[in-house]
């Protein structure tokens, strides 16, 4: 049995999809059609066509940012703290940085901490920019809601006993 492939797949005819002619419609023509996804969303005021919902979400976002700023302002530099990140064990640390890091992180306020043990991710610098000094693997940035400042003395591991 001998098979000869004359479909064009052998020559790479179907690999470059940029050569395939596509159907395109003008935005104004698409807007005039009654049974499109865009008209469906407009009729029901869903997604970006829900002006009231968009305003509500923007107001909620501003409120969250204001709460985060207030929480960050209540955390003093150099204070001992307890860090409770969801899904991780509770850790003791010292606050080394409080502020925004918009160029290197997600927007918002961040708290840079120096852990008592090497449980961190870095040495106080992220993306080549130094925010604070600490040993490698002792530093981390967490959101203000994960930090509880207070009187949390460093735990004595018993390794520095006198002989």
Span 48-65, average pLDDT: 89
pLDDT in the model for residue 107? 83
pLDDT above 80 (res 50) = yes
pLDDT in the model for residue 13? 66
Secondary structure (3-state) at 12: coil
pLDDT above 80 (res 8) = no
Q: Is residue 137 part of a domain?
A: yes
- The residue with tokens 């064990």 is 89
Asked if residue 104 and residue 51 are part of one domain, the reply reads: no
pTM over 0.85: no
pLDDT above 60 (res 97) = yes
pLDDT above 70 (res 36) = yes
Tokens representing 134 are 């600490």
Asked if residue 145 and residue 91 are part of one domain, the reply reads: yes
Q: Is residue 58 part of a domain?
A: yes
Q: How long a stretch of residues is the chain?
A: 163
pLDDT in the model for residue 37? 92
Total domains in the chain come to 2
CATH of the domain at 97: 2.30.30.190
* Residue after which a domain boundary falls, among 14, 35, 69: 69
The mean of the pLDDT values for the chain is: 86
Q: How confident is the model at residue 102 (pLDDT cuts 50, 70, 90)?
A: low
Asked if residue 87 and residue 31 are part of one domain, the reply reads: no
Residues 63 and 60: their CA atoms lie apart, in Å, by 5
Residues 162 and 4: their CA atoms lie apart, in Å, by 87
Secondary structure (3-state) at 129: strand
Cβ count near 63 (within 10 Å): 10
Q: How confident is the model at residue 141 (pLDDT cuts 50, 70, 90)?
A: very high
pLDDT in the model for residue 4? 80
83 or 11, which is more confident? 83
pLDDT > 70: percent of the chain: 88
Asked if residue 61 and residue 87 are part of one domain, the reply reads: no
């Amino acid at each position: 049995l001998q098979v000869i492939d004359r479909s064009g797949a052998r020559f790479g005819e179907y690999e470059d999809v940029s050569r395939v002619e596509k159907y395109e419609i003008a935005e104004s023509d698409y807007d005039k059609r009654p049974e499109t996804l865009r008209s469906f969303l407009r009729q029901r005021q869903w997604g970006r066509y829900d002006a009231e919902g968009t305003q509500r979400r923007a107001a909620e976002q501003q409120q969250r940012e204001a709460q985060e700023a207030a929480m960050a302002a209540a955390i003093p530099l150099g204070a001992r703290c307890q860090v409770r990140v969801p899904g991780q064990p509770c850790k003791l640390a010292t606050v080394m940085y409080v502020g925004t890091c918009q160029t290197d992180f997600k927007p918002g306020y961040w708290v840079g901490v120096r852990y008592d043990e090497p449980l961190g991710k870095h040495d106080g610098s992220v993306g080549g920019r130094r925010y604070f000094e600490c040993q490698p693997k002792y530093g981390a940035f967490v959101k203000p809601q994960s930090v509880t400042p207070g009187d949390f003395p460093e735990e004595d591991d018993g390794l520095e006993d006198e002989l």
